[in-house]
Amino acid sequence: MTMTVPLKTLSEHACFGGVQRFYAHDSREIGLPMRFSVFLPPQAAQGKVPALLYLAGLTCNEETFMAKAGAQRVAAELGVALIAPDTSPRGAQVPGESDAWDFGVAAGFYLDATRAPWATHYRMESYLTQELLPLVIDTLPLLGDQIGIFGHSMGGHGALTLALRHPALFKSVSAFAPICAPSECPWGHKAFTGYLGEDRAAWAQHDASALMAASLTPFPQGILIDQGLGDKFLADQLRPERFEQACASANQPLTLRRHAGYDHGYYFISSFMEDHLRFHHAQLMLG
């Protein structure tokens, strides 16, 4: 099936023998223009390649990962494309959407809001799984059955929850300093109350630890998480021990690496980016 949504190329840059592009398109799921970025490795000039969807954290956009993570060099070596969407709708004009850095604009939490007035445009889960991925698979040289997902902080929450909610879409999953139990932390309370209302059962459907506790080893090849022990958000917001416990109860293989001295930012992420790319590549290449 051919997609009819036109892509507008905003910019294009030669990068490690491949090409870094920034796109815009009119989103049917969001109901507004959306932006995203793609790195195509040099191997994409000869045929379709595997791809990784990266979800960025609070305050970020479609450029943050591509500019700061240092991922393109290894992605070019491995022949893996990188896809980075924006972190929320832009221009929805919902009252109060720009009042706080941890809710609203640049803080979509990768879910579909059900509470008015957010439900009209804040539909990031449907946008990613039902629109963006089919769009890029249809229009770019990507292998639709070899897609992995990873992310950071709010985006790590998104990577874990979307992988668990849509296991048929993703062959691999990893995260940097993810929000592992949003139902139990201030960021999650704020986002879930605002987007989903007070129903805790609805919250659990977007909580990685709750989802994992109810699952049956959806990723038998393992999940990789890196967490800095110098991260100021670790104790109050991230709670990796909750996801670790849930994986143990679900017999889900998990590699949770804790690193002394590393904080929450992209110096940390770039330090371990190569490990994540090689982790995904190994899983995407499995039959």
Are the CB atoms for 18 and 76 separated by under 8 Å?
yes
Are the CB atoms for 144 and 137 separated by under 8 Å?
yes
Indicate which residue of 264, 276, 280, 281 is catalytic: 264
259 catalytically annotated: no
Count Cα atoms within 13 angstroms, Cβ side, for 277. Answer: 22
Indicate which residue of 27, 37, 88, 153 is catalytic: 153
Distance in angstroms (rounded) separating the CA atoms of residues 32 and 51:
25
199 catalytically annotated: no
Are the CB atoms for 44 and 61 separated by under 8 Å?
no
Indicate which residue of 231, 276, 280, 281 is catalytic: 231
Distance in angstroms (rounded) separating the CA atoms of residues 142 and 223:
23
Residue 84: C-alpha distances to residues 63, 66, 117, 202, 276 (Å)? 8, 8, 26, 27, 15
Please give the structure tokens belonging to residue 185: 């932390």
Closest alpha carbon to 204 in 150, 256, 164: 164
H helix runs in the chain, sequence order: 64-68, 72-78, 124-126, 133-139, 154-165, 186-196, 200-204, 208-213, 240-249, 266-284
Q: Which residues contact 127 (CB under 8 A, 6 or more apart)?
A: 27, 29, 30, 34, 85
153 catalytically annotated: yes
So which residues are the catalytic ones? 153, 231, 264
